């Protein structure tokens, strides 16, 4: 059978696309005090954001165990010739390291696993997994898929307009956006994954100006291989943005995705953004 594609729940892929492309999701964990939930399995985005906004307990997150990856790889190894495991940035999570340990754990079983650190997250990670899955369904080899995943990762961008840096700061994932702390009064920061960490790439005085700016960033990145519009708590506005940006999406229809509990714990409610993969330039 074709190579299996595995990613983690920070990919924020809609359920219908997970099923369409046969992607296996390994969930991370979100914790409220002593309560632990598997992202997207034991807690829905609606439930998560309701608890986050209540402010009673600030959530923390944790990576899957190596054992969880071993279980997934062994099951997929029964029916596939190899496995490519594609994950969020190793600079913000131990998930990639757990995937590497899981791959080592099934080596004696003759199961071939290649783990890829995308240095991305959320919708950008999800789009990489989709594109790799498309290639896997066409019969590409494991080595070819690894090369593709790395190429896609180098062309991927994840950007978000956030209401506040409070969640990123409290969660200890402030990264290169640290410089903005203390200077943000009513400014809306625009963050991007840069070298695997959150970095402030722009700021806007109002939410509406921020939305126009992220639209401009999509236009600046064109031509695109794929595009996803992302939101945490505002599906209607995400739909409007998707309509405006449709001309930049292949086929004229961007993916609309909802940010789950893991990335949402750091970017918070009200976040709007996008994931994209720039088209490969040919001479």
Residues 22-72 pLDDT 10s: 999 999 999 999 999 999 999 999 999 999 988 778 899 999 999 999 999
At 156, the pLDDT band (50, 70, 90 cuts) reads very high
Do residues 234 and 46 lie in contact, with contact meaning Cβ atoms separated by under 8 Å?
no
The HSE-up count of residue 222 (CA atoms within 13 Å, CB side) is: 13
Q: What pLDDT is recorded for position 164?
A: 74
Percent of the residues in the chain that have a pLDDT greater than 70, as a whole number: 92
179: pLDDT strictly greater than 70: no
At 176, the pLDDT band (50, 70, 90 cuts) reads very low
Arithmetic mean of pLDDT over the chain:
91
Fold for the domain defined by 4-154: Rossmann fold (3.40.50)
268: pLDDT strictly greater than 60: yes
Q: Which residues are CB-neighbours of 172 under 8 A, at least 6 positions away?
A: none
Q: What pLDDT is recorded for position 33?
A: 92
Q: What pLDDT is recorded for position 175?
A: 47
Do residues 198 and 93 lie in contact, with contact meaning Cβ atoms separated by under 8 Å?
no
Q: What pLDDT is recorded for position 55?
A: 77
At 184, the pLDDT band (50, 70, 90 cuts) reads very low
Q: What pLDDT is recorded for position 103?
A: 98
- pTM equals 0.93
Q: How far is it, in rounded angstroms, from Cα 231 to Cα 115?
A: 28
Q: What is the CATH number of domain 156-278?
A: 3.30.1180.10
Q: What are phi and psi of 178, to 5 degrees?
A: -55, -35
Burial class (CB in 10 A: 0-12, 13-18, 19+), 107: exposed
Q: How far is it, in rounded angstroms, from Cα 77 to Cα 208?
A: 48
At 172, the pLDDT band (50, 70, 90 cuts) reads low
Q: What pLDDT is recorded for position 169?
A: 63
Q: What pLDDT is recorded for position 213?
A: 95
- The residue-averaged pLDDT of 84-91 equals 97
Residues 229-245 pLDDT 10s: 999 999 999 999 999 99
Q: How far is it, in rounded angstroms, from Cα 176 to Cα 250?
A: 32
Confirm whether 4-154 and 156-278 share one CATH topology: no
Which residue is listed with tokens 């596939």? 80
> In the chain, where are the structural domains located?
4-154, 156-278
Q: What pLDDT is recorded for position 170?
A: 63
Q: How far is it, in rounded angstroms, from Cα 107 to Cα 35?
A: 34
Percent of the residues in the chain that have a pLDDT greater than 90, as a whole number: 81
Instruction: Name which of 111, 130, 147, 118 is nearest 1 in CA terms.
Output: 111
Instruction: Name which of 113, 86, 94 is nearest 21 in CA terms.
Output: 86
Q: DSSP letter string over 84-115? A: EEEES-TTT-SHHHHHHHHHHHTGGGT--EEE
């Amino acid at each position: 059978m074709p190579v299996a594609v595995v990613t983690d729940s920070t990919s924020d892929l809609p359920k219908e696309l997970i099923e369409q492309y046969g992607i296996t999701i390994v969930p991370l964990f979100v914790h409220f005090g002593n309560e632990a939930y598997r992202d997207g399995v034991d807690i829905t985005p609606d439930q998560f954001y309701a608890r986050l906004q209540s402010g009673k307990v600030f959530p923390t997150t944790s990576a899957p165990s190596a054992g969880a990856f071993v279980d997934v790889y062994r099951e997929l190894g029964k029916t596939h010739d190899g496995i490519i495991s594609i994950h969020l940035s190793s600079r913000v999570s131990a998930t990639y390291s757990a995937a590497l340990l899981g791959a080592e754990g099934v080596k004696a079983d003759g199961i071939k696993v290649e783990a890829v650190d995308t240095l991305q997250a959320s919708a950008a990670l999800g789009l990489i997994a989709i594109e790799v899955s498309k290639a896997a369904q066409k019969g590409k080899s494991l080595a070819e898929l690894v090369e593709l995943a790395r190429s896609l990762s180098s062309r991927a961008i994840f950007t978000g307009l956030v209401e506040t840096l409070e969640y990123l700061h409290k969660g200890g994932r402030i990264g290169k956006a640290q410089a903005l702390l203390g200077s943000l009064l009513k400014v809306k920061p625009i963050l991007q994954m840069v070298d695997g960490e959150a970095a402030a790439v722009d700021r806007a005085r109002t939410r509406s100006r921020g939305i126009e700016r992220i639209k401009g960033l999509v236009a600046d990145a064109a031509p695109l291989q794929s595009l996803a519009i992302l939101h945490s708590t505002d599906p209607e506005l995400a739909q409007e943005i998707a309509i405006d940006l449709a001309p930049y999406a292949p086929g004229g229809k961007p993916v609309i995705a909802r940010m789950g509990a893991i990335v949402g714990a750091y970017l918070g409610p009200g976040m709007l953004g996008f994931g994209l993969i720039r088209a490969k330039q040919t001479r």
